[in-house]
């Protein structure tokens, strides 16, 4: 675990709060190794085969991008109390991730929903944009997170 | 690549078409190794720490479940022509995945949307339910896929 603090509770957050993560570079070998294990399609495995596809060259699996995004969020994202527990996620991949790309995540709180049935927590909706070193968006992930309250109301 | 055939084009599909994948078992060591690389949170890394959390015991990262689901879909799912190219995905994890769980994917075509701007392809919306060996749903993934047509209309 990291020693980032203080941990953020539901009550500490406001719509519009923003955060930028650290960055990570994805290598050719990491792209093909992840694909071999989880997404063995030619455009994620082989340069020559990838050139003939919609991608026009080797591209990371979207699930690899999603997993690396999670790593950045967990290790250098908004430090939510209780960790990152997703109750639903929407994912889009507007642009391919290429070997050597350096990715970071820009996060914004877009909605805060107190739980009616469970007064000790709330749902925080966060939009996480994963961008490459040219600030092009390669993934948009909108997540509903379960975040504890400091003190249950009422 | 597999030798499954014939490949399915947009024109071959109907709403309600269903398919069941092969299955895969997830081990304790696979859960903690994936988490160490991509989702280093205590409930995915350590049995003792996990017991004190919302999960009540070690659980796979949702991103691990998503990646394994992709592996099942790519290697034994509906054989779409052109591969699995996602244009947007919705994910939910209604139940945790535990060490030793054996997962398979049940897929259903829920919508077919011809492309107006690109007559050589269409969007196929598929609902993929990942289930454990007790037929409990551990992940629901709804994906918009780009699938080529056999012959462009008109």
Question: pLDDT of B8-65, one tens digit each?
Answer: 999 999 999 999 999 999 999 999 999 999 999 999 999 999 998 888 999 999 999 9
Residue-range definition of the domain harbouring residue A101:
13-148
Here the ipTM equals 0.92
Contacts of B29 (CB under 8 A, 6+ apart): none
- Residue at B63 is within a domain: yes
* Averaged confidence pLDDT in chain A: 93
CATH of the domain at A22: 3.10.129.10
* A36 CA: distance to closest CA in chain B (Å): 9
Report CA-CA distances (Å) from B119 to B38, B116, B152: 39, 6, 5
The total number of structural domains in chain B stands at 1
Q: Is the pLDDT of residue B72 over 60?
A: yes
Asked if the model's pLDDT at residue B135 lies above 70, the reply is yes
Query: Is residue B4 predicted with pLDDT exceeding 70?
Result: no
Q: In the predicted model, is pLDDT for residue A21 greater than 90?
A: yes
Interface membership of B84 toward A (CB under 8 Å)? yes
Residue at A72 is within a domain: yes
Confirm whether A77 is domain-assigned.
yes
User: Is B3 domain-assigned?
Assistant: no
CB contact set of B48 (below 8 Å; sequence gap of 6+): none
Q: How far is B140 from chain A (nearest CA, A)?
A: 9
B90–A89 CB contact, under 8 Å: yes
Q: Does the residue A118 lie in any domain?
A: yes
User: pLDDT tens digit string along A51-74?
Assistant: 988 889 999 999 999 999 999 999
Phi, psi angle pair for A59, to nearest 5°: -135, 145
Q: Would A121 be classed as within a structural domain?
A: yes
Contacts of B91 in chain A (CB under 8 A): 86, 88-91
B1 domain residue, yes or no: no
**Predicted TM-score of the model (pTM):** 0.93
Distance from CA of B115 to the nearest CA of A (A): 16
Alpha-carbon distance A21 to A97, whole Å?
18
Per CB-CB distance under 8 Å, the chain A contacts of B92 are 87-89
């Amino acid at each position: 675990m990291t020693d980032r603090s203080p941990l953020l509770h539901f009550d500490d957050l406001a719509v519009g709060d923003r955060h930028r993560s650290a960055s990570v570079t994805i290598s050719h070998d990491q792209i093909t190794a992840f694909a071999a294990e989880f997404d063995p399609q030619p455009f994620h495995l082989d340069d020559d085969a990838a050139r003939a596809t919609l991608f026009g060259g080797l591209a990371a699996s979207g699930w690899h991008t999603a997993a690396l995004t999670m790593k950045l969020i967990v290790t250098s994202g908004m430090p939510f109390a209780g960790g990152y527990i997703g109750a639903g996620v929407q994912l889009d991949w507007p642009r391919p991730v290429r070997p050597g790309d350096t990715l970071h995540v820009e996060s914004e709180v877009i909605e805060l929903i107190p739980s009616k049935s469970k007064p000790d927590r709330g749902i925080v909706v966060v939009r996480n944009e994963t961008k490459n070193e040219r600030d092009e968006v390669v993934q948009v992930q909108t997540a509903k997170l379960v975040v504890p309250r400091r003190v249950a109301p009422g």
